[in-house]
Amino acid sequence: MSSILGTYARKNISFKEGKGTFLYTENGDKYLDWVAGIATNILGHCHPHVVRAIQDQSKKLIHVSNAFIIKEAESLAKRLTDNTFADKVFFCNSGAESVEGSIKIVRKYFHKIGKPEKNRIISFSGAFHGRTLAALFLANNKSHTEGFGPKVDGFDQVAFADHEGLKKAINKNTAAIIAEPLQGEGGVKILPDYCLKGLREICDKNRILLVLDCVQTSFRTGTLLGFEYSDISPDICCVAKGFGNGFPIGAILLTNEVSKGMSQGSHGSTFGNNLLACAAAHAVLDIVLAKGFFEEVKTKGEYFDKELKKLKSSFPKIIEEVRGINFIKGLKLKVDNNNFMSKLMERKLLVVKASENCIRLFPSLLSTTEELDMGLEIVKKVCEEYRD
């Protein structure tokens, strides 16, 4: 019996090595990995530039208290503010921590400007914002909150992308709206461009804040943060996952205006700003900010989308819908998604499930066309099994 708490339904398989888009078991079996640590390994496994950056930093200094200036964190924050809407950055260790911190920042901002009654945040149904207590009740997924009462108050919810319902839900206590540009756990559903712009307009009209949870969407949509295609900016953005390519790191990006409520002692993170995480994130940014990187992601993403839609056309009784954008894709199935995933795994392709009977596909952004074709062929063969 395992000594690890049984909070995961783990597959009976273990990997000893990863390279690029592939994972290798103890006995040498090779799997094409489209789970990617759940959207985390954006550059594949053990990218040499990231590995080297972590190794080099580990020989100098691993951790130092935030009581001192950490130049590596200062330079990382500067790169992020230079390349995004943000003026300030707070580093933490995960996406859930970035969401929790954002909740505090929203409430403290309105307290600072003399409106403490504005302390409620509206989310969309189907959202996933992490597993910490407040984040659970913010997303309000009953299967996740059951047994963890009493309910954490301060959150309201409307149907996914329901702007009319959203307008009605806003009241004198509303402080912010939080949304994922693309709901991953919720079924790989995109908030369309007009919807993101509409959220910004609603927030501006009601003088409330817009928080975008880009923990899963960053990079994979073909832009740095996952919402830039809409040509709007949030007040706060939560990021994590791909920024460390597998090394734990999270961050809150925010504007100067919203940051003014956060004074010394108002928030903290022992391992936020740790030097190994900063080294990993710097290495990731070296690659993704290089000229032409996201253009190539979009080109390959369009190819991936086109080929997945061909499969849908060929197997309309199995694949109901192709969802997502570029390298964050989903297949809504007409057959059981658990069974479909098992058949893919038997053929050495790893994917992860989502709500609405979907499976999520997270190839490395550095996947070659040949590697994409390899996975697509496996999906095709599994579809053929059902048809036969």
Mean pLDDT (10-residue bins), the chain, 388 residues: 89 94 95 97 98 98 96 98 98 97 98 98 96 96 94 96 93 98 94 91 97 96 91 96 97 98 94 96 98 97 98 97 96 97 97 96 98 98 89
The pLDDT, as a whole number, for residue 295 is: 97
pTM to 2 decimal places: 0.96
CA angle, 369 then 374 then 376, to 5°:
90
The pLDDT, as a whole number, for residue 67 is: 95
Calculate the alpha carbon distances from 252 to 86, 239, 312 in Å.
9, 6, 38
The pLDDT, as a whole number, for residue 388 is: 65
Distance of CA 124 to the CA centre of its chain: 16
| Residue 144 to residue 96: CA distance in whole angstroms | 14
Selection from 205, 199, 161, 203 nearest residue 183 by Cα: 161
Q: Pairing between strand 352-354 and 182-183?
A: unpaired
| Cβ atoms of 346 and 319 closer than 8 Å | no
Helix residue ranges, H only, the chain: 36-39, 48-58, 71-83, 95-112, 133-139, 142-145, 163-169, 193-206, 256-259, 275-288, 293-314, 337-346, 369-387
The pLDDT, as a whole number, for residue 231 is: 86
Backbone dihedral angles phi then psi of residue 32, each to the nearest 5 degrees? -80, 120
CA angle, 250 then 221 then 276, to 5°:
25
